[in-house]
Amino acid sequence: MDVTVQRTPPLRGTLSLPPDKAICHRAVLAAALGIGTTEIHPWPLADDCQRTLQLVADLGVPVKKSPQTVWIDGRGDAGLRAPTQELFCGESGTTLRLAAGLLAGQPFTTRLSAGPSLSRRPMRRIVDPLSEMGARLEGRRMAASDPGSRELYPPLTVHGRRPLRAVRCEMELPSAQVKSAILLAGLFADGATSVVERVPTRDHTERILRAFGAGIRREGRGVTIEPGALRSPGALVLPGDFSSAAFFVVAASCVPGSRLVLEGVGLNPTRLGLLEILKRMGGCLTTTVSEEGWEPRGTVVVEARSLRGVSVGPSEVPGVIDELPVLMVAAACATGTTRFHGVGELRVKETDRIRSMVNGLRQLGARIVLPAPDAVEIDGGPLRGAVAESAGDHRTAMSLAVAGLVAEGATTVRGVACVAKSFPEFFDHLRAVAGSPTVKTVDNP
């Protein structure tokens, strides 16, 4: 499927975003381990979340689903059973990495397989700490392309152990997925397990485990979890996905005269780096928290303003890792130069997102240089419509579509069916605020 986007008049309206995928994954895994039935509402359409739900069902957890709600009858910490076949994670790295942590503490062996893109993503970052805890993990090596590398790739075979060894893990790379895998494994350890972060990452796992009654605490840069059973809190209402909102936040910031109201958005402080960077660029954004609860949520109001270039440093990157592609679009629309440093993690996502975004924005006339493998500099200026490739990456596809809203003429982004991975409703939402003639999708034969 391709999409053609025309330069748009001001974006106006109010949107409710789909449920947060990052929180959904964690809620499903915690519910599978919890004692009692957990109701999760609203249920996302994103393909990634379906993978996690199917995974727990394949581990013997009873699951009931309606279009808007999922009910999970938790089996307790000793209730999971060995699957009869490998567990397919599709292209969901969150599913695979978090499940590896959960399965490390099970008294059986499991094989986690993946789709083509995820099968090229590195897994040593979770294999090493889980191995230190006593589990044994086996992965695939790419000896032909990099014979000297220790790196491992899916499929992963997890030989679980119970109890695991309690560890104190000093994380070299900031990664919420790695932290989450260790904390989930820590539920099955023989004592308190701690993760110490050099740079804080999103804290959804800590929040969801606390909601399920886990003994978890933060001390400075460290998070410590005590082993023990989880208990269902009953109903969980998922907030709107901030990473999905980010595309509309940037679009409304860049299209002159725009004003959008985004309702029910998750406003977890560890996820709001995009807003802080846009404010530094001169953006006009206000947030109102309407509910604190286990995850804060509320309203974001965005009004268009002239943006200016800024520098984004390595300490900011973990908090905006999913939003960096669309931030590059904001940089292309700004006055002056925006510099991104320490963004090398983008090269090991569903695709090399530095390459896919640089290639796509250059097709639209953006001036970009790469001073280092993990750095990007973008000189803002007028964009022109052109044909650009998604590279099979959902965030690249949506970001380039946003760029098309401000480019002169028509912009076609090829291969946008991949948005179903995280935000299948994206183009419907974009049409709602930009108008149907502005955004047209075409199914390829």
**Cα–Cα distance, 227 to 206 (Å, whole number):** 14
Minimum mean pLDDT range among 147-151, 252-256, 292-296: 147-151
Minimum mean pLDDT range among 45-54, 145-154, 260-269, 331-340: 145-154
Per the CATH hierarchy, to which homologous superfamily does domain 2-19+239-442 belong? Enolpyruvate transferase domain (3.65.10.10)
**Percentages of the chain per state (helix, strand, coil), in multiples of 5:** 35, 30, 35
DSSP assignment of 44-113, as one string? P--HHHHHHHHHHHHTT--EEE-SS-EEEEEE-TT-----SS-EE-TT-HHHHHHHHHHHHTSSSEEEEE
- Residue 60, by phi and psi: left (phi above 0), alpha (psi -120 to 50) or beta? left
Distances (CA, A) of 364 to 45, 72, 154, 389, 401: 31, 46, 35, 11, 11
Strand 34-41 versus strand 12-16 pairing type = unpaired
Query: Is 388 buried (19+), middle (13-18) or exposed (0-12) by CB count in 10 A?
Result: buried
Distances (CA, A) of 45 to 15, 33, 372: 17, 23, 38
**Cα–Cα distance, 296 to 290 (Å, whole number):** 8
**Cα–Cα distance, 233 to 213 (Å, whole number):** 8
Q: Nearest Cα to 243, choosing from 323, 163, 303? A: 323
Helix (H) or strand (E) holding 193: strand 193-197
Name residue 39's beta-bridge partners: 71, 235
Residue 146 annotated to the active site: no
Strand 2-6 versus strand 439-442 pairing type = antiparallel
Q: What is the pTM of this model?
A: 0.94
| pLDDT at residue number 13 | 95
Quick check: 398 and 390 in contact, CB under 8 A?
no
391 has pLDDT over 90: yes
Strand-by-strand arrangement of the 216-219 sheet: 168-171, 193-197, 222-225, 216-219
The 10 Å Cβ neighbour count of residue 168 is 12
Minimum mean pLDDT range among 12-16, 48-52, 347-351, 377-381: 347-351
**Cα–Cα distance, 155 to 176 (Å, whole number):** 21
Q: How confident is the model at residue 214 (pLDDT cuts 50, 70, 90)?
A: very high
For residue 425, give both structure tokens: 């409703």
**Cα–Cα distance, 374 to 426 (Å, whole number):** 29
**Active-site pick, 322, 379, 428, 443:** 322
| pLDDT at residue number 145 | 55
147 has pLDDT over 70: no
| pLDDT at residue number 149 | 76
**Average pLDDT for residues 226-254, to the nearest whole number?**
97
Distances (CA, A) of 318 to 136, 285, 312: 28, 21, 11
Quick check: 98 and 184 in contact, CB under 8 A?
yes
What's the residue count for the chain? 445
* Digit-coded pLDDT (tens) for 257-287: 999 999 999 999 999 999 999 999 999 999 9
- Report the chain's terminal Cα–Cα distance, integer Å: 9
| pLDDT at residue number 324 | 98
User: What is the average pLDDT score of the chain?
Assistant: 95
Q: How confident is the model at residue 444 (pLDDT cuts 50, 70, 90)?
A: confident
For residue 420, give both structure tokens: 């179903």
Q: Nearest Cα to 162, choosing from 214, 110, 106? A: 106
* Domain positions in the chain: 2-19+239-442, 21-237
| pLDDT at residue number 363 | 98
144 has pLDDT over 60: no
Query: Please, what CATH class does the domain formed by 21-237 belong to?
Result: alpha beta
Cα 348 to the center of its chain, rounded Å: 13
| pLDDT at residue number 77 | 83
Task: Please tell me the number of Cα atoms within 13 Å of 383 on its side-chain side.
Answer: 37
| Structure letter (DSSP) for residue 426 | H
